[in-house]
């Protein structure tokens, strides 16, 4: 966690009342957009990721005060527990958890290696389980909390050539629904946001990989990806962040177990 110099009294007061939100995979893309939005909403934000340099740069740019960062691999049980303990010690009990860390790899099903399968499950699904388990006690003690899992339209439908990723994201949707029922009377809500193709490094890397594999024009591949979106455009990361912000607000107390598709009508 980072340390900050002394602040004016109003900043100190804000830090004692602002909800503590921890965001995984926060260094870039959707995670960074969510961090900026929740900080603007008045949360104290802890950024969790694997790149300390990128986390530090984002932390310095966040609005407000009291924000921190911690480096950890969400698929490593001991690392997750240590990271959450450090975040809790620095910023207080966790009231909001956004499970955004994720990774995508593409391959024909018959050529999908066991290691790729296991890696997709570890980052995209086991990480959600470990981080949610590490945060839930704080929320239950306060009888209030928000868990938002960033899944994907791949958790709502199938896509060719990403069987492992799709299976993992379907798992995230199932975990979301199960946890929502288990904690329905506790004051804790658990929801998933399912973006379609979003303008992030993951999409750009996917296009580049497909172009390298097939020799096709990257622009044509991107158009093909986006053709599944009736609006024919990539989702913006801030649009995903807006959905997360609403789910974390007081007006969404009765919304739990839902999978909100932010996909231009791809999933209805």
Q: Kindly give, in sequence order, each residue whose CB lies less than 8 Å from that of residue 27, ignoring residues fewer than 6 positions away.
A: 47, 49, 50, 51, 54, 55, 58
Told to judge if 161 belongs to the known catalytic residues of this protein, a careful annotator would answer no
Q: Could you tell me which residues are beta bridge partners of residue 20?
A: 44
Query: What CA–CA distance (Å, rounded) separates 65 from 227?
Result: 41
3-class secondary structure, 117:
helix
Q: How many CA within 13 A on the CB side of residue 44?
A: 24
CA 69 to chain centre: 15
Q: Catalytic: which of 159, 161, 165, 197?
A: 165
Sign for the CA dihedral angle at 32, 99, 132, 263 comes to positive
> Cα 156–158–162 angle (5° rounding)?
120
- In the numeric block, which tokens belong to residue 228? 């599944």
Residues annotated as catalytic are 165
């Amino acid at each position: 966690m980072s340390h900050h110099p002394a602040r004016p009294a109003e900043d100190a007061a804000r830090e004692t009342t602002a909800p503590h939100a921890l965001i995984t995979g926060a260094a870039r893309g959707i995670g960074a957009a969510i961090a900026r939005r929740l900080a603007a909403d008045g949360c104290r934000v802890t950024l969790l990721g694997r790149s300390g340099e990128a986390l530090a740069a984002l932390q310095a740019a966040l609005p407000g005060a009291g924000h921190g960062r911690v480096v950890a691999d969400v698929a490593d049980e001991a690392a997750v527990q240590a990271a959450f303990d450090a975040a809790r010690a620095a910023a207080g009990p966790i009231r909001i958890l956004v499970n955004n860390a994720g990774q995508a790899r593409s391959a024909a099903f018959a050529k999908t290696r066991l290691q790729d399968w296991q890696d997709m499950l570890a980052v995209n699904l086991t990480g959600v389980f470990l981080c949610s388990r590490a945060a839930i006690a704080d929320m239950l003690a306060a009888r209030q909390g928000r868990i938002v899992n960033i899944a994907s339209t791949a958790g709502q439908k199938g896509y060719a050539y990403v069987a492992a990723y799709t299976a993992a994201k379907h798992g995230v949707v199932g975990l979301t629904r199960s946890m929502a029922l288990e904690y329905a009377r506790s004051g804790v809500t658990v929801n998933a946001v399912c973006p379609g193709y979003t303008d992030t490094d993951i999409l750009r890397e996917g296009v580049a990989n497909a172009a390298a594999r097939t020799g096709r024009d990257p622009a044509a591949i991107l158009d093909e990806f986006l053709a599944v979106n009736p609006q024919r455009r990539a989702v913006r990361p801030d649009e995903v962040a807006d959905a997360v912000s609403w789910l974390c607000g007081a007006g969404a107390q009765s919304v739990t177990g839902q999978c909100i598709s932010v996909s231009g009508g791809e999933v209805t």
